[in-house]
């Protein structure tokens, strides 16, 4: 697997957050869509601008997997992400998969086979590099499962309100 490093200085390299320290918590990898359309032109530099517009100081993802499966470094993995919420997540690594939204703006799993293959390889590489087991939290599927459950509940309530007529 090829991991591309930024070709120019990024905001996160100019204004770094805290270095990771030894932690009693198991390292955790968070996987999430970038909440963009699955466009092959979207890269780490583009996502850095989006994150800055969302109020983060720089690119919040350590790794970004583009639609063609190319992995880019968005933030130095040795530094804490800007999206960390508390000390238990200070040891976490964020992986952003480009996509997650259709051109109509609907949430949808837009992960390509190339992205899935790159994700598996990247997670294995991270685990091998840390030389220990890691916890992986895939936040992509949770969004879609919630939507599917809400749709099913709506369908069920609609069928329950329909009462058969006696005739």
Q: pLDDT at position 7, please?
A: 62
Task: Name which of 99, 93, 95, 96 is nearest 111 in CA terms.
Answer: 99
What is the SS3 assignment for 46?
A: helix
Q: pLDDT at position 3, please?
A: 81
Per-residue pLDDT, averaged over 36-53, amounts to 89
Fold adopted by 3-161:
Lysozyme-like (3.40.80)
Phi and psi torsions of 102, nearest 5°? -80, 170
Q: With beta carbons less than 8 A apart as the criterion, state whether 62 and 73 touch.
A: yes
CA distance 166 to 13: 72
Range with lowest mean pLDDT among 92-96, 103-107, 138-142, 162-166: 162-166
Tokens of 97: 């998969």
Q: pLDDT at position 163, please?
A: 53
Q: Is the pLDDT of residue 66 over 90?
A: yes
Q: CB burial class (10 A; 0-12, 13-18, 19+) of residue 132?
A: exposed
Collect contacts of 145-150 with beta carbons under 8 A, ≥24 apart.
Answer: 147/107
How many C-beta atoms surround the C-beta of residue 43 within 10 A? 17
- 100-153 pLDDT, tens per residue? 998 898 888 899 999 999 999 999 998 888 777 788 888 876 555 566 666 667
Q: pLDDT at position 10, please?
A: 61
Task: Tell me the pTM.
Answer: 0.75
Q: pLDDT at position 67, please?
A: 95
Q: With beta carbons less than 8 A apart as the criterion, state whether 51 and 60 touch.
A: yes
The CA-CA-CA angle for residues 17, 21, 26, to 5°, reads 115
Task: Please state the domain extents for the chain.
Answer: 3-161
Identify any residues that bridge with 49 across adjacent strands, giving them in sequence order: none
């Amino acid at each position: 697997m090829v991991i591309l490093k930024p070709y120019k200085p990024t905001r996160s390299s100019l204004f770094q957050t805290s270095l990771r320290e030894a932690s009693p918590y198991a390292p955790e990898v968070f996987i999430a869509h970038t909440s963009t359309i699955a466009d092959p032109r979207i890269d780490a530099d583009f996502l850095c601008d989006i994150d800055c517009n969302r109020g983060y100081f720089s690119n919040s993802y350590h790794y970004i997997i583009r639609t063609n499966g190319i992995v880019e470094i968005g933030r130095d993995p040795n530094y804490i992400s800007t999206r960390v919420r508390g000390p238990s997540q200070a040891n976490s690594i964020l992986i952003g998969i480009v996509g997650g939204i259709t051109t109509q703006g609907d949430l949808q799993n837009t992960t390509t086979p190339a992205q899935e293959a790159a994700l598996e390889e990247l997670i294995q590489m991270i685990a091998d590099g840390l030389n220990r087991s890691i916890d992986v939290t895939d936040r992509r599927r949770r969004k879609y499962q919630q939507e599917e459950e809400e749709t099913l509940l709506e369908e069920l309530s609609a069928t329950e309100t329909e009462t058969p007529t006696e005739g």
